[in-house]
Amino acid sequence: MIARAAAGGETPKLARHVAIIMDGNRRWAHERGLPAIEGHRAGAQTLRQITRAAARIGVENLTVFAFSEENWRREPSEIALLMELLRAFALRQGEALAGENVRVGLLGRIDALPAPTRDAFRSLVATTAASDGLALNLAINYGARRELGDAMRALARDVAAGRLMPASIDDATLSRYLYTAALPDPDLMIRTGGELRLSNFLLYQSAYTELWATPVLWPDFDAAMLAKALGSFSMRQRRFGT
């Protein structure tokens, strides 16, 4: 149910862009006495379910934190299994996602991934390129501070080359240099797993994003919980600092 607009603020009907920090895979596995990779495998299945649910509801952009720069600090054996799981996801899901009219985009330093994983994701992007429904944006080898650093370096190069005047740089200009240049800022960010922090995810883009957190671990998150988060969003008045 959508609330009516209240005086002094806008009550949106639906979040056009939903971002999710998919936290809790390893804890989910640990609670069940399973290897960590089984939690990640269950989390990948949840992502497919939530992608379908978001498309069905009418969300236009779904951006998920799949692998952070900080994740490279984990045990090499877990990283190797994660890279293989990501590669398998990309290879197996392309036709299904295209059939559901989902277009996949990538955010992050994809070139630094192992070649088999990198190539699989580039193939996934190509397979779904013609879709014009939900945009599923996978943040892989992503860090918001790294993104801002990359944007600043690109800006500096263009200023040095005379292609950009420093006085003309504003929020819109900077946004065009981010990994998310083609996307609107997130309306709603969901975090599972009970933590209450952004964890270096979409820091610039989330200046006025509505936040919604749940203690539910990501593999147990479902369509009903997504609807609950979107319902909470629909009741909020977004003032954007006014």
Contact 81, 114 (CB under 8 A): no
- For residues 8 and 156, give the distance between their C-alpha atoms in angstroms, rounded to a whole number: 40
Annotation marks residue 71 as catalytic? yes
Task: Give every CB contact of residue 168 below 8 A, 6+ residues apart in sequence.
Answer: none
Terminal Cα distance for the chain, rounded:
26
Catalytic residue from among 23, 25, 61, 187 = 23
CA angle 188, 97, 117 (to 5 degrees): 90
How many CA atoms does the CB half-sphere of 237 hold within 13 Å? 9
Closest CA to 139 of 71, 230, 79: 71
- For residues 35 and 10, give the distance between their C-alpha atoms in angstroms, rounded to a whole number: 46
Q: What's the Rg (C-alpha) of the chain?
A: 18
Cα separations (Å) of 85 from 13, 27, 29, 98?
Answer: 36, 18, 15, 20
Closest CA to 137 of 32, 217, 54: 54
- For residues 208 and 186, give the distance between their C-alpha atoms in angstroms, rounded to a whole number: 8
Catalytic residue from among 71, 158, 200, 222 = 71
Report the catalytic residues. 23, 71
